[in-house]
Amino acid sequence: MSKVIWKGSTMLAPVPPALVTCGTMRHPNVFTVAWTGIVCTHPPMTYISVRPSRHSYAIISKMREFVINLPTSSMSKITDYCGMKTGANTDKISACQLELVEGSTVNVPVLAQCPVSLECKVCETKHLGTHTMFLANITAVQVEEKYIDSKGKFNLQQAGLLAYAHGEYFALGRKCGNFGFSVKKKH
């Protein structure tokens, strides 16, 4: 097998194209972030990386709270739109007909249409170059009830979440295993 070598780049994919809400119920904003992920289990922590020039950057810097909302594949056009337009002169919530509900642990609105929403409180800010990373504690997770099975587990495959890789959106595919299945003993 032969591989081509490129210079270092942002080649880690797919990633979740998250619809991040910030602001308040009265003055909300939503924008799309692909630079996000989990950084710790206990305590549960995540991050988003945002360019300081973005409208939402000042809002999050001031409030120190945000919500990561995971969209479905049917929301790909909304997700793209919210990443292309600025909240400085566009009401993306109205334009996309998004429904907001109150957060349970943060003063930031949650997107009702997204099956999973992570409520986050910023604990550290790190300037990294083109982006600033907002490291945050996940203070609550809202999961749409219809995607929880009889054992209380989130059914990811049914939710049809959206993925992003190298400028393209994808619907997450079929399940192909469980954590630990490669070493599970046969009964």
For residue 52, name the pLDDT band (cuts at 50, 70, 90): very high
CB of 96 closer than 8 Å to CB of 78: yes
Answer whether 87's CB lies under 8 Å from 31's CB: yes
Q: What are the residue boundaries of the structural domains of the chain, listed by start?
A: 18-171
Contact 58, 100 (CB under 8 A): no
What is the rounded distance in angstroms from the CA atom of residue 105 to the CA atom of residue 175? 32
164 and 80 Cβ atoms separated by less than 8 Å: no
Each residue's pLDDT tens digit, 120-164:
999 999 999 999 999 999 999 999 999 998 999 888 788 899 999
Rounded to an integer, the average pLDDT of 156-177 is: 87
Give the confidence band of 187 by pLDDT, cuts at 50, 70, 90: confident
- Residue spans of alpha helices (H) in 31-164: 55-63, 76-84, 92-95, 156-159
> For residue 60, what pLDDT band results from cuts at 50, 70 and 90?
very high
In CATH terms, the superfamily for domain 18-171 is Electron Transport, Fmn-binding Protein; Chain A (2.30.110.10)
- Looking at residue 11, what is its pLDDT? 79
Residue with tokens 């999973």: 116
